[in-house]
Amino acid sequence: MHPGACLFRGTALLLALLAGLAGCATPPEQETPRQDASAPPAISPDVRKDYGRALKLMKKERYAQAEPLLRNLIQRAPQLAGPHTNLGIVYARTGRPKEAEQAFLKAIELKPDSAPAYNQLGILYREAGRFKEARDAYEKALAIDPDYAYAHLNLGITFDLYLQQPRLALKHYEDYQRLQKKEDKEVKLWIIDLQRRLEAQP
């Protein structure tokens, strides 16, 4: 299973969403600002260390412990978008979608070229049934970074399962596959299935 990739489709995906699972989510996002005139002040070693601790906790799904660390990081380094994105992931995975949306939007306000924040926002909108807004968020992520693989995957799933646009879904599945170092066997099956369905159309 690819980290952060949603590996459910069709009935399995719908059952997963109904069961309240996380859906298609990328791993916790890290942020390392460039040291130039327009960049935020350098991150202190203590902030960097605590950020690493928060990310490790998130990877272990220990969200209750990660949340206060991220909140504290935001107070100490309010110029950084990454802690807001990760706090949004914590909110989303603990059933607080309104707070998650606010956190992702704050991350985007701080860093308008944050493809991960837009991707996470798209996941949140899709899980809320806001499919057009989800599409818009994924497309903004790809406008920032055309090679952002998870945005291709999530947009493909949205086109495939919710917007009934199989040709566009196929394109994004293929783009996702192209960006993998190792072929994703499950997505390969999705591609074959879509190709067959499209060939069968009159």
Residue-level pLDDT at 38: 39
Residue type, 33: P
Q: Which residues, given as ranges, of the chain have pLDDT below 50?
A: 1-39
Co-location of 102 and 153 in the same domain: no
Same domain, 100 and 142: no
Tell whether 152 and 190 lie within a shared domain.
Answer: yes
Residue 156 sits in the same domain as residue 100: no
| CATH code of residue 75 | 1.25.40.10
Q: Within a domain: residue 156? A: yes
**Considering the domain boundaries, does residue 1 fall inside one?**
no
Domain ranges, residue 88: 42-112
Whether residues 155 and 108 fall in one domain:
no
Last residue of a domain, one of 80, 112, 144: 112
Q: Which residues of 86-117 are buried (b: 16+ CB within 10 A; e: fewer)?
A: bbbbbbbbeeeeeebbebbebbbebbeebbbb
Considering its fold, how many domains does the chain have in total? 2
Which is nearest to 162 in space by CA: 6, 2, 28? 6
Kindly state whether residue 88 falls inside one of the protein's structural domains: yes
- How high is the pLDDT of residue 45? 87
> Does 9 map to a domain?
no
Query: Residues 72, 106: one domain?
Result: yes
In a domain, 87, yes or no: yes
Is residue 8 included in any domain, yes or no? Answer: no
Q: Is residue 184 part of a domain?
A: yes
- Report the alpha-carbon distance of residue 199 to residue 123 in Å, rounded: 30
Together in a domain, 99 and 156: no
Kindly state whether residue 119 falls inside one of the protein's structural domains. Answer: no
